[in-house]
Amino acid sequence: MIGLLKSMATTMKHALDGKTFTVEYPEEAPEVSPRFRGIHKFSQERCIWCRQCEKVCPNDTIQIVTDDKRQGEQYNLHVAQCIYCRLCEEVCPVDAILLTENFEFTGDTKHDLVYNKEQLGNVPWYKDIDPLAAREPDRGAWVGEGDGEVDYQ
Ligand code: SF4
Ligand code: SF4
């Protein structure tokens, strides 16, 4: 009985202290942890088409297509297959893939969320996400445009 009263007192104390830990989504956007892993963005400008991201991805979310000279031709992303393990970001030698804090997308089937790099540039929930707002790659280690704009599509 005493335990019950104590737990009720604790509940009432927290219920009445005015602090809230939830937000009324989607009216209010929740703050996510800096370590949150959301959908990733790709930069063709930075990519050297080494295909390491494709090889390391455990479930074929990324598909790289190159020509017979191993020049990059296409980057396909099967968004609904991603498990946000972040291996692709970690393995990429040039920060051409960065995970963002975005989790706001839906589709009726996983086939609705398959895009190539040209299509990604026109996807409303995707195209304006800035991955550099969530991630801070060591741009001092980049060859070339360490200080400039980077086009992540
Ligand atoms: S986060 Fe993991 S599952 Fe998603 S694309 Fe990268 S390697 Fe694949
Ligand atoms: S690991 Fe990075 S550089 Fe290599 S193909 Fe993937 S995105 Fe491009």
Residue 53 backbone dihedrals phi, psi, to 5 degrees: -65, -40
The answer as to whether 4 is a domain residue is: no
Which one of 52, 84, 105, 113 would you pick to mutate in the ligand 1 pocket, going by the greatest count of ligand atoms within 8 A of its CB? 84
Cα of 51 vs centre of ligand 2, distance in Å, is 5
Give the pLDDT confidence score for residue 145 in this predicted structure.
61
In a domain, 22, yes or no: no
Measured in Å, residue 50 CA sits from the centre of ligand 2 at 5
Going by CA atoms, what residue is nearest to atom 1 of ligand 2?
Answer: 92
Task: Tell me whether residue 15 is in a domain.
Answer: no
How long is the chain?
153
Domain residues for 81? 32-135
Please choose, from the candidates 74, 35, 69, 39, the residue with its C-alpha nearest in 3D space to the C-alpha of residue 54.
Answer: 74
Among all bound ligands, the one having the nearest atom to the CA of 43 is 2
Residue 120: predicted pLDDT: 87
Please report, for the domain that includes residue 95, its CATH number: 3.30.70.3270
Looking at all shown ligands, the one closest to residue 38's CA atom is 1
CA 5 to chain centre: 45
> Is position 145 within any domain?
no
Atom 8 (ligand 2) nearest CA: 47
Q: Where are the beta strands (DSSP E) in 47-147?
A: 62-66, 72-78, 97-99, 114-116
Q: Which residues are paired to 115 by β-bridges?
A: 77
Question: What is the atom index within ligand 1 of the atom nearest the CA of 81?
Answer: 3
pLDDT tens track, the chain, 153 positions: 889 999 999 999 888 888 888 899 999 988 888 889 999 899 888 899 999 999 999 999 999 999 988 888 899 999 999 999 999 999 999 999 999 999 888 899 999 999 998 898 888 888 888 888 878 887 877 776 656 677 787
Burial class of residue 1 in the structure, from the number of CB atoms within 10 Å of its CB (0-12 exposed, 13-18 middle, 19+ buried): exposed
Q: Is residue 92 part of a domain?
A: yes
Q: What is the pLDDT of residue 148?
A: 67
Query: What is the domain count for the chain?
Result: 1
Q: Using only C-alpha atoms, what is the Rg of the chain?
A: 21
Preceding amide of 26 cis, omega within 30: yes
For 100, residues 6+ apart whose C-beta sits below 8 A from its C-beta are: 38, 39, 40, 41, 129, 130, 131, 133, 134, 135
Q: Is residue 93 part of a domain?
A: yes
